[in-house]
Amino acid sequence: MTDHRPTEAVEAVDAVDGITGDDVLVADQTGAALPAAGGDGEPVRTLWSDAWREMRHRPLFWVALALILLVVTMAAFPSLFTARDPLYCQLSDSRLPPSAEHIFGTDTQGCDVYARTIYGARASVLVGVFTTLVCTLIGGFIGTVSAFYGGFLDTLLSRVGEIFFAIPTLLGGIVILYSLPNEPNSPFLLVVGKVVLALSVLGWPSLARIMRSSVLQVKPHDYVQAARALGASPWRIITSHILPNAVAPVTVVATINLGVYIAVEATLSFLGIGLQPPAISWGIAISEASGIGYITAAPHMLLFPSLFLSLTVLAFIMLGEVVRDALDPKLR
């Protein structure tokens, strides 16, 4: 499986792969269990230090990292990038082309596109980061528990996951968000929270599956059996022996999914069901700028938010791919 595909379609193929033999990246068993392989002064080589050695020579890694840092700074401190108030709009300035005063031009309401593009980063980053966090925690926990304990619990959790998994993210997102309507004056974080909730409800099974299959691969190893024989508690076995050797695939997929969630959020907002005005978001900006009339009359309204959105998504996907290439020994 040397390809990422967003959520359900990806996982559908993964599920098929599961039949013929799992192809998820397997972590080297050089984690916590086998400390200091070279005893004579050689530094300990772990999976992650190997990966780091590999990654730091890839320009793509640094490009992706720089882009991500830039976007996260934008989301956290938008006022560093612009002194203009994104909510200050003058109708008389409607749809001005880029100029010295408005470097990205203005939109239909006469708002500054540059300021709104900068402030728009916050919604995307919040949705992406929180959805990824929630999905990884829930999915990781459920995947680990079902693989570690197996039996009935595993069957039950896998079946439940399958049900959530069976609903395509965008379609499910529409149904869930339609059932959680916003008031025009709902606070921004509540609106973001609803989108995070919708995407997490549909997103956790993909990570649970990956976590489950990598824990299953680590579980039969001797050092896990040894720890068990020595009387280590399940908690200790999982946290210090299994997880360090099983998190690599989930890390990769979670990074890539972060980008995908940002794209889905923008799509939902574009359709008018994710974030809604007066919230500032790239999806809303693009939605307002699309339409044949606007595209020809004011292409700048479409271009700049689209560019920022695409670059952000690209950065996370690129980072995930670079990390995967570095972790997967088969590709070397």
Partner 1 sequence: MGTYILRRLLQMIPVIIGATFLIFTLVYALPGEPWEGRCGERPCPDSYIAKFKTEYNLDKPLLVQYALYLGKLVRGDLGTNFYGNTVVSELAVRYPTTITLAAIAVTVTIVIGISAGILSGIKRGSWIDSLVTVSTLVVISIPIFVIGSLAQFTVLKLDLNDYIPVTASAGTFHQLILPGFVLGSLSVAYVARLTRSNLAENLRADYVRTAKAKGLTRARTINVHTLRNSMIPVITFIGYDIGNLMGGAIVTERIFNINGIGGFIFNAINTSDGVSVVGAVTVLVLIYLLMNLIVDVLYGVLDPRISHD
Whose Cβ is closer to partner 1: residue 198's or residue 238's?
A: 198
C-alpha 296: how far from chain center: 33
Interacting residues of 133 by C-beta distance below 8 A, sequence separation 6+? none
- Residue 128 contacts partner 1 per CB under 8 A: no
Whose Cβ is closer to partner 1: residue 35's or residue 181's?
A: 181
- Residue 258 contacts partner 1 per CB under 8 A: no
Q: Which of 55, 111, 250, 309 binds partner 1 (CB under 8 A)?
A: 309
- Residue 325 contacts partner 1 per CB under 8 A: no
CA 72, CA 63: separation in Å to the nearest integer?
A: 14
Dihedral sign for Cα 81, 83, 88, 94, please: negative
- Residue 302 contacts partner 1 per CB under 8 A: yes
Contact in structure between 282 and 28 (CB atoms under 8 Å): no
- Residue 328 contacts partner 1 per CB under 8 A: no
- Residue 172 contacts partner 1 per CB under 8 A: yes
- Residue 58 contacts partner 1 per CB under 8 A: no
User: Ramachandran region of residue 108, left (φ > 0), alpha (ψ -120 to 50) or beta?
Assistant: alpha
Q: Which of 150, 168, 234, 329 binds partner 1 (CB under 8 A)?
A: 168
Could you identify the residue written with the tokens 């001797």? Answer: 222
Q: Which of 20, 92, 184, 332 binds partner 1 (CB under 8 A)?
A: 20
Residues that bind partner 1 (CB under 8 A): 2-3, 5-6, 8-9, 12-13, 16-17, 19-20, 159-160, 162-164, 166-172, 174-176, 178-181, 259, 263, 266-267, 270-273, 286-287, 289-290, 292, 295-296, 299, 302, 306, 309-311, 313-314, 317-318, 321
